[in-house]
Chain A
Amino acid sequence: MVIMMKDTYQLCLILVLSIVVVPSVFAADPVGDVTLAEDSNAAVNFTWTLMAAFLVFLMQGGFAMLEGGLVRAKNTSNIMMKNLADFTIGSLGYWAIGFPLMFGTSVAGLYGVGSWFLLGEAYDVSTYLLWIFQMVFAGTAATIASGAMAERTKFRTYYIISFLITSLVYPIYGHWVWGGGWLSMLGEWYGLGLGHVDFAGSGVVHMVGGGAGLAGAMLLGARIGKYDNEGKPRAIPGHSISMAVLGVFILWFGWFGFNPGSTLAATELRISIIAVTTLLAGSAGGFIATLYTWKKFGHPDVTMAGNGVIAGLVAITAPCAWVEAWAAVVIGLAAGLIMVESVLFFERKGIDDPIGAVSCHLIAGIWGLISVGIFADGTYGLYTTEGPFVTGLLYGGGTGQLVAQVIGVIANFAWVFGTTYVIFWTLKKTIGLRVSKEEEEEGLDKTEHGAICYPDFTAPLEESKKLENYEPKKQEMK
């Protein structure tokens, strides 16, 4: 806990944890007896936080299934490998430098400095608890990008990208919001509500993943065959809708750790409110995506309905603790609608995102952050039942909170899109971002991993026109 004791800002997650286990602020407690003796609630709070972390860990499996189902059979091993890589290399990166960058002593509110590799003072039950909970979040952020870049990215390059997202891009932005950085201080410094708030990470986790995915998809260009000669988008059907829907349900289940777990304390009984808002927003997103695609396409679209659930969940992640049930439904409905339109918009603009990761995570995440400034009802504070309470526009909180949220959105997009664009561009110019045309047509399972996911399957025909007629659509970049 010492690595973060100088930043005793009221606004960060750390403080919440250190309130729960005050003594550990003063001395590392690797055994846990001191922590338990000083706080009888420690046992239940540790159990709660660890269970939530394990649930969020399961979301990796959900992402693997969702992304796997929406890509073609010939690239399934590759997307599985990417999901494995995100977590394995990601957790090591977060252990080495990511965690102290995010939660260490703040340097001008921009980044943290602390015990690297969880050494020294970080060898403490409370710090390790926070580490595992935050680590699974970081893994989630990295995994989101893999979906937008599916079916055409060089694995070697992706490995580097995955490491950099979890150990640099994600922790530094996370520090701004959860580590006592400048975004969380907006309230104190400029009187904008309680500063930029993001309960469980619509911005910190989902916008980061979505923003990185957008930069990747733009620099990669579309998959071969995604656009016809006139530049009109064509369908490239994924290979397993059942896998994708299983993925949605696993993610939804994991979200009950993601949102309610972010209290880091079972003694905060607000967790039941959070669980309900989480469930309702997911349902509302899936519901509206079903109806809207039914009306628009003539069929209730299965994968879009699944994406609608994800969009609803992403949107409620930031406001989940501060809104009522009806507001959660409104937030979910809006997220579902925005997501469908956004998928079609990006497709028209030539940005090929095979699984809709940018729309589900970046766009719905933006809406989630803004919705806090509108719907927060002023009954719950910053991870505590005590005031000051987060209050939005509709509940007489004025525009302060809303402005803080908008500033957060802009800062998030500028930081994440900017840095990842530079990183990906550099990699593109050096070791290359995209596989060759031949490798792409052959499928990345064989060319990148030598391991075909479904060896006994015959590849479905690429229909209707000869593939040679298609060139990846040229990006019109400013």
Chain B
Amino acid sequence: MKKVEATVSPNSLNSVLNALTKAGFSNLTYFEGKGRSHQKGEKKMWRGQEYREIYERIIQMKVIVENNDISRVINIIKNASKDDENMIYITEVEEITMNKIMEERAEVLVRRTGEVV
């Protein structure tokens, strides 16, 4: 099990979500936030004065996937957000625990990953 954390721009959120859902990776969480890498920031204008918003609005999403799905998921995200400067981290998920309700509904996850968690 791996956790894929991808940073995409708000503009490409829709296409990334659509592409992931079509491929069966619809279980995910995303966060709206602010961040920067090496960009200079967005140029904006207020009453004739130019200014930069250095920390731009970003979306960070977390998808938990089976080890052999990793490259597929990464490709889907990259293709669906071609114009972004995005960064994707992959980390090992050691363990997943669920409460009772979640366990009963975990079938979806089991079906996708092919293993009982």
Contacts and interface: CB of A to CB of B under 8 A. Distances in A.
Interface in A339-384: 340, 343-344, 347, 356
Contacts of B46: 235-238, 303
A234 B44 CA distance: 12
A297 B52 CA distance: 15
A297 B48 contact: yes
A235 B50 contact: yes
Main secondary structure of the interface of A (DSSP, over half): loop
Interface in A190-244: 233-238
Contacts of B54: 463-464
Interface string B35-53: 0000001001111111111
Given A235-B50, A461-B34, A297 B45 contact: yes
Contacts, number: 47
9 contacts: A235-B49, A297-B45, A299-B45, A301-B47, A301-B48, A463-B41, A463-B52, A463-B53, A463-B54
A10 interface: no
Nearest to A458: B34
Contact of A235 (B34, B41, B47): B47
A304 interface: yes
B55 interface: yes
A18 interface: no
A233 B49 contact: yes
Given A237-B44, A238-B46, 7 more contacts: A235-B49, A297-B48, A304-B47, A463-B41, A463-B51, A463-B54, A464-B41
A226 B48 CA distance: 14
A158 to B, nearest CB: 24
Contacts of A461: 34, 55
Interface of B: 34, 41, 44-55
B32 to A, nearest CB: 11
A464 B51 contact: yes
A335 B90 CA distance: 60
A234 B46 CA distance: 9
Contacts of A344: 48
A293 B48 contact: yes
Interface string A287-305: 0000001001111010110
A303 B44 CA distance: 14
B37 to A, nearest CB: 16
A340 B47 CA distance: 9
A297 B46 CA distance: 10
A301 B41 CA distance: 21
Nearest to A344: B48
B47 A303 contact: yes
A461 B45 CA distance: 16
A224 B46 CA distance: 17
A343 B49 CA distance: 11
Contacts of B44: 235, 237
Interface in A438-478: 461, 463-464
A304 B52 CA distance: 20
A344 B47 CA distance: 9
A464 B45 contact: no
A234 B45 CA distance: 10
B55 A343 contact: no
A194 to B, nearest CB: 39
A59 B34 CA distance: 38
B52 A464 contact: yes
Nearest to A236: B46
A234 B52 CA distance: 10
Nearest first, the 8 closest Cβ-Cβ pairs linking A and B are A235-B46, A235-B49, A235-B51, A237-B46, A297-B48, A463-B54, A299-B45, A463-B53
Contacts of B52: 463-464
A304 B34 contact: no
A293 B54 CA distance: 24
A293 B52 CA distance: 19
Contacts of A343: 47-48
Contacts of B55: 461, 463
A436 B46 CA distance: 26
A299 B51 CA distance: 14
A284 B108 CA distance: 63
B109 to A, nearest CB: 33
Nearest to A340: B48
A235 B45 contact: yes
Contacts of A299: 45
Nearest to B34: A461
Contacts of B48: 293, 296-297, 301, 304, 340, 343-344, 347
